[in-house]
Structures are given as structure tokens and as C-alpha cells.
Amino acid sequence: MSRIGKQPIEIPTGVTITVGDSEITVAGPKGSLNVPIQQNTKTSVEDNKAIVTRIDDEPKSRAWHGLQRALLANAVEGVSKGFEKKLEINGVGFRLSGGGRQIEMALGFSHPVKYTAPEGIDLKVEKMNITVSGIDKQKVGQTAAEIRSLKKPEPYKGKGIKYADEVLIRKAGKAGKK
């Protein structure tokens, strides 16, 4: 049995899970999400717990089992608490403005870089920090990765956009002649 898949999902108060034919709807105080039902899995809700089981013991079914449970757990956490990722901008002359769904950045290019977040994602700007937040874990991570890819941190001075908890491995500069 899958170690992740066999764990029940605690449903917090205010969150409802509705199991349909092809998708599971999770609704809570922050919004609602639809999770597709993976093949060879069944989901049942009983006593404020969601339990994911699989139909057979094939290797593919075992993999789908863990995935279904993880997707459902992320949806439950998203509609109750939400997800967020923090990014930092480092560099001389780099600037950041905006908020809501659109930000504008000066990243050392000849033009300002504008980024518009997808629906359901909120961007907050504080000095040289960006906070990406939303209820869908995949969208939050993808948006943060797209913003980071606009100017990845370089290894010599650390200039660029990095995750707040990311540790950069710095390289030594040029070695002088002896």
C-alpha cells in the first residue's frame, strides 16, 4: 500500500468535499478547487476525513493512489489556508513596482519588464520582495518560477531574482596572476 495514499486527510471546519463522477470539488473559505479523479482510485468522505483507496494493486494504480491523495490534500490546504511563495530581488539599479495581478520590474535590461499573473494569483510588492499567493499550489509555484526565470540569480554577485529561502552557491571571481 502507498505510504502517502493510505493516510487520511483531515477536513478542517468550513471545508466541504463533494465527490463527483470525474472530479472532486473542494470548497472552503478562500474559494473552491476541482481535483480530477485519477484512474483506479476511489475517494470517500466520512467523519471529517477523506480517504483515498485504490481498486487494484497494479504498479500504475499504486502511483495514482499517492498522487490522488496528494492533490486532494493540497486542495484542502489551499481552500482553508492558501499557499504563498516569497521572492527577493538583488542588484544595483533593480526596481520593483505594482501589485495585485501586475508588477513592473527594472532588471538591468534596456526596457522595464511587466508581468501579469494568471487568474486566482495575487502579487504583493514590499520594497524588493514579491509575495505570490493563491489557493492553487501548482499555480503559485508556476507563477513564482516564471517570475524567477525573468532574471535568474548569477553565481558571482548574486544579482537577480531568487526565492527567499534559496541558498545561492557563490563562485570566486577571477584569480590574479602570480
CATH number, domain at 110?
A: 3.90.930.12
Are residue 26 and residue 62 in the same domain, yes or no? yes
Instruction: State residue 37's pLDDT score.
Output: 93
Q: What's the pLDDT tens digit per position in 17-59?
A: 999 999 999 999 999 999 999 889 999 999 999 999 999 989 8
Residue 55 falls inside a structural domain:
yes
pTM, rounded to two decimals: 0.89
Residue 114 falls inside a structural domain:
yes
Domain containing residue 100: 83-163
Under 8 Å between Cβ of 72 and 43: yes
Task: Specify the 3-state DSSP secondary structure of 63.
Answer: helix
- E strand segments, 41-137: 41-46, 49-54, 83-90, 95-99, 102-106, 113-116, 121-126, 129-134
Instruction: State residue 2's pLDDT score.
Output: 56
Task: Give me the number of domains the chain comprises.
Answer: 2
Under 8 Å between Cβ of 41 and 23: no
Q: Is the per-residue pLDDT at 1 higher than 60?
A: no
